[in-house]
Chains A and B, each alone.
Chain A
Amino acid sequence: MTTVIEKNSFAEPIAVLPEDRVDKSNWNLFRRADGRLVLRCEDGKGETTETPVQVACCFPWSHPFEFISLRDDKGHEQKLIPNLQQIAAPARELIENELAQRNFMPRITGIEAITDEIELFHWKVITNVGARHFLTRRSDHPRKLVNGDVLIKDVSNDLYLIPNPKSLDAQSLKLLWVYLD
């Protein structure tokens, strides 16, 4: 049962960003006919692999366009992009497109009512993508993001962002006041 590992992996400090993963020269992205985003990589010996990937943000709230991870369907990272601005336009647009879909979230622009439903709060809001009713748990506090935006999670785990809550109209602000710091 006891096999000695040949190389002790703890002897060397672990690189925070493996350099080989950020290299952009030998890969590109394209949209396949089935709608998937596919990563095409060349390994330098003329071998090409094509992997359908999903994009994930490492810091979706504070740095949405940095450290974008491209992962296969099993969740293995294929590529880490430190900064979206540093890559060429076609690939960047594809990723931006994908991110826009993935990170979709209604932005609340006005609050019509927040009513107490015993264990729940019933919100009636106007968002940038239309009117919406939703319920939040009483115990779920809205989360304040570093930039001051407020993030609300409803019972179904849908997210709603209130960008710069102070800029809401007086009536909405009054209703929201309970949640503001």
Chain B
Amino acid sequence: MTKNLLQTYFKQAQELPPAVQEAFARAAPDETIRVYALSDLDGNQRFSERWLVLGENHLVLVEPSGEFLNGHTAWKTQALALRDLGKFELLEGLSSSRLNVVNASNELVASVQYTRRQAPAVGNLQFVAEQVRKRLLENAAPPELADDFDPATEYRDAVLKAVKEAKATLAMPKIGVMLRLLSYLKPHKKPVAIGLALAVLLTALQLLPPYLTKVLVDDILRPVESGRITDASFWLWVVIGSLAAVWSISEFISFIRLRIMALTGEKISKQLREDLYRHMQKLSLSFFSSRTTGSLITRVSSDTDRLWDFITFGLIEMVVSVLQIIGVAAALFLQDWSLAILVLVPLPIMTAMFYWHGQKLQVLYLRIWRKWSAMTGVLSDVIPGIRVVKAFAQEQHEVKRFSEKNNALETEAEILHRQWTRFWPTVVMLMHVCSLIVWAVGAPRVLRYALTNGAEGMPLGVFIAFTGYMWMFWAPVQHLGMMSRTVNRVSTSASRVFEVLDTVPNIVNKPEAKPIEPLQGHVQFENVTFTYDGVRNVLKGVTFEVQPGEMIGLVGPSGGGKTTLINLICRFYDVKDGGVKIDGVDVRDQELAGMRRQIGVVLQEPYLFHGTIAENIAYGSANATLKEIIAAARAANAHEFICGFPDGYETIVGERGQTLSGGERQRISIARAILHNPRILILDEATSSVDTETEKKIQEALQRLVAGRTTFAIAHRLSTLSIADRLFVMEDGKLVEQGTHEELLAKPDGVYAKLHRTQAELHALIAV
């Protein structure tokens, strides 16, 4: 599937072209290709095709020689022995990057430029090349490749990663999406069938009134007028009665049909919403990190709503429109075939007009939407920053900025309004022209009929019925004209919904996984290697053992791997190599929910849900009593300030609720963790400083919380670091130092000692 995407979207080779492989084989005989990447710019910064191919001992540059062999591009190669290379230098530009290859004597031997699109693949190549070079220089065996490692897949995945982040399901044909959406109707076969049958019935019924008018005129009124029939009042009432019956039955049917379809549509969209949310909860963190909250909310709310709209109205309307056109056309032909042809001639023109109008509107709506979001953008930008606006007295400037966007919106709306206000009268005029033509052709025939006493020409009733049918023609034509737009919108919404449903969670329970309850809290990392992108290792062979109840402080520069380490303990991700064991059992063999229930987390930015403080403290501990909640709050030094609120523990917090300070939120989340009573505690300490008094309270709370639990704390505060049993210093994905605060400080060249000195200097500056 992914194979064709590079071709379709980027016009880029899906894999190393055979000719380039041959060129590589000539330049580096008997070497297996490990990784390769495309450099899509040549020396003159024009788009071209040059390949960087890495073998076991050589990096080979393959580029077109500018000559042709039998009509094919001839390739020339430059093979660089990895042993002789000094370093790779990556220089990033605005929209392109450059990789300089420098040899051991510091001379530039090759330089390639490529766009950002190729950067992930080139980055991978550079990384692997450096690893291989290092191994070669150490005379060690080259790094083992995983069994399923395939250079072509690596290359494609690297280039397509950006596309996949924007849109996870890349190849979903519109037809396929629509069919899949229709499959959601399956459980509702009965109501849908009834809805359709009613729609067919309704269409048939709607064809009756013009026919009855014809009967009324030709078989009752006219004969009475000419004196052929004397008493027709019985038949008159029969016809009027039938008209009344037809209208009331069809209104009743359309009422039933709408109700059935609206309810069915709602059932389906409810099901979709629930499936979506349930599935989203199952998905791993990596899914959420690559998407904005807004786009996920839209999928659950407005996309499913649009599908409801389609199922309720759109779907049946499409079927009905087709039926109506056929029905009305048949009725027209039955009345008078020559006039019918006259009416049908403008049909394609009309359909084309509606289609064209729909397309035009689509573009206009897109433009308006852009202007609209620019205007609301000003609002969401300025309102939260209103203090700054006022402090700098920029109210006038902001009004001007807003009115610029507002004016642009008006201008755009004007174009849109001009378009549709011009369109509709044109269409109605065209309809009138059609009816005029029908009149011009038909009316003389009616006259002739009267003059020849029915020998030739057309009866009046037939003509009236004919014009009636003619006007019934336009509504379905309009619907069909607009159909392409509807299908477009619906398939977009549907594919966004299916995209989420199709995403497979990458952390799953093994079928035989068993929970261990209660956990002792023994944590062990065995040579753990981990990568987020499949190439760059964020953790490199980390090994340690932590006894139950021990408190570990994690320190080190940002990007060192602290957060990753914690993510692995919680099993938010799975390791690439090695293993994480809790109580001697690999986390992958444990039942996920049961294990996570025994891990507590206090995050840097504590998250409070909308609800009362009590509910927030009891989050994850559904059966907690009020007494336990208060006890937890007390232990977290939160009881005092909570009681200070007029609503006490029933104060609403979270979005639109009572505003809490950072220190207060932190203590509530500590209370939550205390109540939750986990065996293993993860503590991600806030970097932002709070006042000394609050800090003291938080520290007290933390000390109560950590007592007796295995704790991993990403610590910034000296006070936290000093109570830890051991400190782990993480740098560049490795556990570089461990020991107590004092032990580590005693190493003058140690990473920790250095970090500590920097922080002390910083503190000195702030403390002025």
Contacts and interface: CB of A to CB of B under 8 A. Distances in A.
Contacts of B677: none
Contact of B95 (A1, A104, A137): A104
Nearest to A140: B166
Contacts of B107: 33-34
A89 interface: no
Name the residue among B93, B107, B496 with the largest chain A CB count within 10 angstroms: B93
B162 A156 contact: yes
Given A2-B767, A158-B117, A33 B108 contact: yes
Interface in A1-29: 1-5
Contacts of A60: 94
Give the interface SS of chain A, mostly helix, strand, loop or mixed. loop
Contact of A120 (B113, B166, B366, B373): B166
A155 interface: yes
Contacts of B113: 101, 104
Nearest to B362: A116
Nearest to A52: B89
Most buried by B among A100, A129, A179: A129
A155 B162 contact: yes
B408 A181 contact: yes
Interface in B358-410: 363, 366-367, 370, 373-374, 408
A24 B334 CA distance: 95
A141 B370 contact: yes
A137 B47 contact: no
Q: How large is the interface on B (under 10, 10 to 19, 20 to 34, 35 or more residues)?
A: 35 or more
A101 B167 contact: no
A103 B93 contact: yes
A117 B563 CA distance: 36
Contact of B94 (A54, A105, A130, A156): A105
B9 A157 contact: no
A178 interface: yes
B366 A130 contact: no
Contacts of A2: 764, 767-768
Contacts of B94: 60, 102-105, 159
B598 interface: no
A119 B166 contact: yes
A132 B167 contact: no
B367 A1 contact: no
A122 interface: yes
B98 interface: yes
Contacts of A159: 94-95
B699 interface: no
Contact of B102 (A5, A35, A100, A141): A35
Interface of B: 9-11, 41, 45-48, 86, 89, 91, 93-96, 98, 100, 102, 106-108, 111, 113, 115-117, 119, 159, 162-163, 165-167, 172, 363, 366-367, 370, 373-374, 408, 488, 491-492, 495-496, 760, 763-765, 767-768
Given A35-B89, A122-B9, 17 more contacts: A1-B767, A3-B764, A33-B106, A34-B86, A35-B108, A101-B93, A101-B113, A102-B93, A105-B96, A106-B47, A106-B95, A117-B167, A118-B167, A118-B492, A120-B163, A154-B117, A178-B367
The 8 lowest CB-CB distance pairs between A and B, nearest first, are: A130-B47, A35-B108, A102-B93, A3-B764, A159-B95, A156-B117, A119-B167, A2-B767
